[in-house]
Structure 1
């Protein structure tokens, strides 16, 4: 279900989830129980805890908490061969 944002004059904004067919123009504020008007804007269609929500949260989190690198990436080496005939091959 989509989330809709409502704004109370005294307490600020809060989100509520309603089905698209039953969205009211006003809702009761959870703090002061006063009437709050619905804000104009897009609803959020991402369910909390879903894979999409986790991806969005992880992407947002990297802006303030970048991943820490322990060491620089090592150089990849070609496997060493012990065949004596390979020594006669041209090297790059």
Structure 2
């Protein structure tokens, strides 16, 4: 299934999921019923890892409602425990 975008003059853009290659050039708007032309957009062919998706969503949300910081973050960083294989290396 592919997502096709149409633009209604009165209602704006809307999306329709159809099998690939079956989208017509003009489709009725689901809100007002007038004809809407198909709008070509870039395909989304790759999947985004969940961590990157969360970061992109957070970034997009911060454009409209930025996160407010009330204090300076502490400079003390938590150290990661050493890798177990490193404990076998000779120490100098």
**Smaller-chain TM-score bracket:** 0.5 to 0.7
Greater relative contact order structure (CA < 8 Å, 6+ sep)? 1
1:34 equivalent in alignment to 2:34: yes
Shift of 1:26: 1.9
1:46 and 1:36, CA in 2 relative to 1: closer, same or farther beyond 3 A? farther
Structure 2, unmatched stretches of 5+, are 77-92
1: CA distance, partners of 2:56 / 2:46: 9
Aligned residues: 74
Moved over 3 A (4+): 43-47, 50-55
2: CA distance, partners of 1:58 / 1:45: 22
1: CA distance, partners of 2:61 / 2:75: 30
TM-score by length of 2: 0.55
Shift of 1:46: 8.0
| Bigger Rg, which one | 1
1:22 and 1:53, CA in 2 relative to 1: closer, same or farther beyond 3 A? farther
Q: Which position in structure 1 is the counterpart of 2:57?
A: 57
TM-score by length of 1: 0.55
